[in-house]
């Protein structure tokens, strides 16, 4: 059955000069002929009057992409319109009356996937590229969209295929005089592959931090200036400041970009013993945030009790209110009031964040889906050597291969496609 021809606005809906409608599907050529009179030259921007019946809709730049040399692999087109909502609406209505329907989120990329233009990992990379807000996210997304993870996983699947062939040779000729080295080599190569996967799993910590952002919690006793510090770092008055101890009850989160990386700064309730149930809950949450954060800023100041809670070595110790008294040895001295020392603190934070996201050039896994797939493959590889029967060892290798195949989408993923593509925005 022919797929329906779909269309969507590919550009944003804010006030703008140009709006791009993209089309994909077998009726594209007919629709262009109806709207423009003739088909424009392939892949060249042509200025055309768009008409529907007697109605002149717009003067637009029109691009015609005959399949399979198109993003989706189907016939496709782009209409670069004047962005007035009434213009876009008129053209959309004309397309619907010609048999097209609005696309679902991610439907263009889903068709590109179905037509073998991109695999699932590349599609996810494209989705991340569309969402990228920081330069680190852009680089990582582009790398994945360009197939870096696909090549890695395909390479592993290929090695597994060879191992499986050797394993099957052992099954088919059990009494044959296969050199005993084969069995040993198989075990060794399987273990080697498993080690590479284990190392790759570790990159997920960095990859997911780059994609989702790092969490930095600001903790310490009441009134040391945690909220003041958050406001300084955020560059705006996000959290309330007062000289009343226990001002911040629930955590306050601010998103910002530091060292090209997305970071969520969390201001937490001042940690102290309190009878007030609300404040106690605030303290409980503060401790939980500190525990789950990628980095913790431990704040203290003159006169405040120091380090009532256990301190983790990676914590950054910040001494606030240096306008009142200098910082002791081993603390970064700042004044949230005057701004003194803030640059040093930002640089230290940036350095720690770079350390937590450093990949030394490796392509990291970037999603829980990847972590789950690699973990599954790894489990099978780790089990294989402990199975007595060569048939079972072969089956374990096959299952590991399948887990990798589901990551690229090369095998058995129908059930998974909705989850992956529904996360896309419309028009992608
Ligand atoms: N106007 C516009 N800008 C865009 C896109 C688009 O579709 N339209 N893209 C959409 O995501 C991105 C560019 N990526 C693209 C990837 C493949 C093809 C494509 O048509 N590929 C064909 C033909 C290549 C060629 O002309 O030589 C192919 O690979 O066969 C187009 C865009 C970003 N910018
Ligand atoms: N002198 C001086 N006062 C500061 C500085 N930073 C904050 N303060 C003052 O210290 C008091 C407490 O500041 P907050 O930012 O509310 O402190 P907090 O740690 O968030 O307090 P809680 O929410 O109660 O835990 C306020 O009166 C601030 O104006 C500083 O660098 N120097
Ligand atoms: K306070």
CA of 228 to the centre of ligand 2 (A): 6
Q: How many angstroms from the chain centroid is the CA of residue 222?
A: 36
Q: How far is CA 143 from CA 70, 71, 127, 345, in A?
A: 21, 18, 12, 31
Q: How crowded is residue 104: how many other Cβ atoms within 10 Å of its Cβ?
A: 15
Question: Helix, strand, coil shares of the chain as percentages rounded to 5?
Answer: 45, 15, 35
The H or E element containing residue 64 is: strand 55-65
pLDDT attached to residue 230: 96
Query: Is residue 148 scored above 70 in pLDDT?
Result: yes
Distance CA(350)–CA(348), nearest Å, equals 5
Report whether 286 contacts 267 (CB < 8 A).
Answer: no
Q: Tell me, using a 6 A CB cutoff, whether residue 255 lines ligand 1.
A: no
Query: Shortest CA distance to 409 belongs to which of 191, 89, 133, 118?
Result: 118
CA distances from residue 335 to 10, 234, 398, 424 in whole angstroms, order as listed: 47, 15, 60, 43
Task: Round to whole Å and give the CA distance between 142 and 211.
Answer: 12
DSSP result, 83-124: --HHHHHHHHHHHHHTT-EEPPTTHHHHHHHHTTSS-HHHHH
3-class DSSP assignment, residue 333: strand
| CA atoms of 414 and 97, how far apart (whole Å) | 31
- Residue 196: how many other CB atoms lie within 10 Å: 14
388: pLDDT strictly greater than 90: no
**Rounded distance between C-alpha atoms, residue 74 and residue 291, angstroms:** 50
Q: Is the peptide bond before 123 cis (omega within 30 degrees of 0)?
A: no
Superfamily for domain range 6-103:
Probable tRNA modification gtpase trme; domain 1 (3.30.1360.120)
CA dist list (Å): 94 to 58, 64, 109: 12, 18, 24
Q: Is 69 touching ligand 1 by the criterion CB < 6 Å?
A: yes
211-356 sits in which CATH class?
A: alpha beta
Give the ligand 2 atom nearest the CA of 222: 25
Pick the ligand that lies closest to the CA of residue 225: 2
135/145 Cα distance (integer angstroms): 15
pLDDT of residue 414: 72
Ligand 1 atom with the shortest distance to the CA of 428: 11
Give the atom of ligand 1 at the shortest distance from the alpha carbon of 70. Answer: 20
Give the long-range contacts of residues 284-293, CB within 8 A, separation 24 or more: 285/250, 285/251, 286/217, 286/219, 286/251, 287/219, 289/215, 289/217, 289/219, 289/251, 290/217, 290/219, 292/215, 292/217, 293/215, 293/216, 293/217, 293/266
User: What is the per-residue pLDDT across 78-111, written as a single tens digit (0 to 9) for each?
Assistant: 999 999 999 999 999 999 999 999 999 999 999 9
Ligand 1 in contact with 292 (CB < 6 A)? no
Q: Which ligand 1 atom is the nearest neighbour of the CA of 43?
A: 26
Ligand 1 pocket residue status of 143, Cβ below 6 Å: no
pTM score of the predicted model: 0.85
Cβ-Cβ contacts under 8 Å for 343 (sequence gap 6 or more): none
pLDDT, tens digit, for every residue of 360-376? Answer: 888 999 999 999 999 99
Tens digits of per-residue pLDDT, 276-314?
989 899 989 988 998 999 999 999 999 876 655 556 678
The residue written with tokens 């016939």 in the block is 75
Which CATH number is 124-201+368-421 given? Answer: 1.20.120.430
- Residue 244 annotated as part of some ligand binding site: yes
Nearest ligand for residue 271 CA: 2
Spatial distance between the Cα atoms of 188 and 183, rounded to a whole number of angstroms? 9
Atom 27 of ligand 2: nearest residue by CA position: 243
Ligand 2 neighbours, Cβ below 6 Å, are: 222-228, 241-243, 245-248, 269-270, 320-321, 323-324, 335-337
- What is the percent of the chain with per-residue pLDDT over 90, rounded to a whole number? 75
pLDDT tens figures, 161-216: 999 988 888 777 666 666 778 888 899 999 999 999 999 999 999 999 999 999 99
Domain spans in the chain, listed from the N-terminal domain onward: 6-103, 124-201+368-421, 211-356
Spatial contact of 364 and 210, defined as CB atoms under 8 Å apart: yes
Residue 223 annotated as binding site: yes
Please report the DSSP string for 254-293 in residue order.
EEEEETTEEEEEEE-PPP---S-HHHHHHHHHHHHHHHH-
pLDDT score of 420? 75
The model's confidence at residue 150, banded by pLDDT at 50, 70 and 90, is very high
Measured CA to CA in angstroms, residue 290 lies from 10, 228, 263, 281, 373 at distances of 41, 18, 15, 14, 30
Closest residue by CA, ligand 2 atom 10:
225
| Residues written for the chain | 428
Q: Is 64 in the pocket of ligand 1 (CB under 6 A)?
A: no
User: Measured in whole angstroms, how far is the alpha carbon of residue 320 from the centre of its chain?
Assistant: 35
Which of 223, 237, 266, 326 should be mutated for ligand 2, with most atoms under 8 A from CB?
223
């Amino acid at each position: 059955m022919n797929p329906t021809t779909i269309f969507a606005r590919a550009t944003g809906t804010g006030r703008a000069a140009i709006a791009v409608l993209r089309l994909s599907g077998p009726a594209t050529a007919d629709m262009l002929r109806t709207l423009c009179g003739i088909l424009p030259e392939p892949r060249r921007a042509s200025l055309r009057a768009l008409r529907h019946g007697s109605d002149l809709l717009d003067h637009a730049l029109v691009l015609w992409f005959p399949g399979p040399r198109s993003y989706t692999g189907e016939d496709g087109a782009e209409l670069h319109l004047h962005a007035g909502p009434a213009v876009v609406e008129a053209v959309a209505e004309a397309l619907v009356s010609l048999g097209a329907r609005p696309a679902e989120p991610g439907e263009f990329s889903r068709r590109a996937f179905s037509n073998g233009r991109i695999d699932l990992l590349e599609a996810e990379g494209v989705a991340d590229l569309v969402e990228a807000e920081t330069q680190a996210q852009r680089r990582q997304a582009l790398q994945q969209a360009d197939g870096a993870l696909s090549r890695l996983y395909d390479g592993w699947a290929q090695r597994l295929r060879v191992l499986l062939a050797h394993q099957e040779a052992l099954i088919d000729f059990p009494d044959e005089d296969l050199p005993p080295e084969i069995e040993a080599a198989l075990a060794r190569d399987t273990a080697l592959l498993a080690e590479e996967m284990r190392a790759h799993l570790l990159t997920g910590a960095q990859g997911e931090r780059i994609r989702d952002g790092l969490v930095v919690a600001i903790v310490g006793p009441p009134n040391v200036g945690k909220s003041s510090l958050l406001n300084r770092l955020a560059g705006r008055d996000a959290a309330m400041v007062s000289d009343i101890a226990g001002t911040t009850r629930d955590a306050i989160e601010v998103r910002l970009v530091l060292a090209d990386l997305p970071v969520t700064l969390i201001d937490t309730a001042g940690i102290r013993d309190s009878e007030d149930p609300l404040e106690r809950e605030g303290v409980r949450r503060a401790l939980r945030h500190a525990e789950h954060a990628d980095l913790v800023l431990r704040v203290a100041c003159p006169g405040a009790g120091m380090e009532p809670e256990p301190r983790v070595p990676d914590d950054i110790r910040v001494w606030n209110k240096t306008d009142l008294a200098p910082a002791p040895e081993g603390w970064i001295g700042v004044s949230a009031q005057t701004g003194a020392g803030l640059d040093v603190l930002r640089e230290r934070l940036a350095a720690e964040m770079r350390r937590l996201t450093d990949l030394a050039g490796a392509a990291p896994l970037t999603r829980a889906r990847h972590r789950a797939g690699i973990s599954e493959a790894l489990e099978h590889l780790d089990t294989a050597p402990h199975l007595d029967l060569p048939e079972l060892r072969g089956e374990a290798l096959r299952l590991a291969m399948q887990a990798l195949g589901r990551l690229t989408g090369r095998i058995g993923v129908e059930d998974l496609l909705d989850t992956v593509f529904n996360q896309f925005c419309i028009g992608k």
